[in-house]
Structure 1
Amino acid sequence: MTSAVQDYPSRLSDPASRKLGTFSYLPPMTAEQIRKQIEYIVAKGWNPAIEHTEPKFASSNYWYMWKLPMFGETDVNAILAEIEACKAANPGNHVRLIGYDNIRQSQGANMLVHRAPIKA
C-alpha cells in the first residue's frame, strides 16, 4: 500500500521551496483568512506581535521584531495596519504574526502573513 502523505521537496539549496511554519504548507492566506486568524488571536486574549526577516535568513531562529508586541490590543484593524506598515517599511522581507499566550508563557500562534519574493 502506498502512503497518501505528500512529500514537500523543501531544500536549503532552493530558497523558494523553504517552508516557514505549519501554514506555509497550505496555499497563501487571503486577506480575509488573515483577518480571521487575527480575530482568533484577539479572542484568545493573546498579545499580537509582528516580526520580519530577509528571505535568506528565514530559517534562522532570529527575526527582527517590528516595534514592541501589541500588549492588550483588541482592534483587528490596528493589527492589520501594523502588518501593512511593516510590509511597506521592509518590502523585501517575510512578515509573520505571532500570538503570545501570557498565561502559558509561549506562542499560541505563529504564521507567515507575507512571503517576500525570492530573488535568485
Structure 2
Amino acid sequence: MSEMQNYDSRVSDPSSRKMETFSYLPEMSDEEIRTQVQYIVNNGWQPAIEHTEPENAMDHFWYMWKLPMFGETDVDAVLGEAKKAHEAYPEHHVKVVGYDPFAQSQGTAFVVYRGPMK
C-alpha cells in the first residue's frame, strides 16, 4: 500500500481548508461537474444549490438557494441555478447537493464556485 498523504489544513490559513466530497481532488472541469450532476439525476436524487460566505463554510449550515429542485432531470437547469446563485452572491462558495430520498441524506455535495479566501 502506498503512503497516505497528509493534508496540512490550518484554521489560520483559509486557503488550506477542504470542503465536501471532492475537495481533496484537483479542481473539476466544467465537463466533470456536468458528469457529477448527471450522476445525481441518473440516481433519482434531488438536486439542490447551497451557498455561504467562505469564512462560514466549515462551521455553519449553508444557505439554501431557492428550494431543492424536486424531480429535476435537466442537467442544464441545475447548472443554471448554480450559476445564478454565484451571480447573486459572487463572494460566496456555491455547491451542488444531491439528496438521496431513499437514504434520506445527502448522496453527494461538491463546491462548483469558490468565493475569495480572506
What SS class does the counterpart of residue 95 from structure 2 fall into?
strand
Structure-2 separation of matches of 1:85 and 1:22: 22
Post-superposition shift, 1:61?
A: 3.6
What SS class does the counterpart of residue 112 from structure 1 fall into?
strand
What SS class does the counterpart of residue 107 from structure 2 fall into?
strand
Q: Which moved more, 1:59-68 or 1:39-48?
A: 59-68
What SS class does the counterpart of residue 35 from structure 1 fall into?
helix
TM-score normalised to structure 2 length: 0.95
Instruction: Give structure 1 stretches of 5+ with no counterpart.
Output: none
Aligned length: 117
Runs of 4+ aligned residues of structure 1 deviating over 4 Å after TM superposition are none
Structural RMSD (CA)? 1.0
Instruction: Give structure 2 stretches of 5+ with no counterpart.
Output: none
Give CA-to-partner distance per residue, 1:79-117, whole Å, 9 cap, x none: 110010000000000011110011111111111111112
TM-score normalised to structure 1 length: 0.94
- 1:80 maps to a residue whose letter is L
Structure-2 separation of matches of 1:44 and 1:77: 17
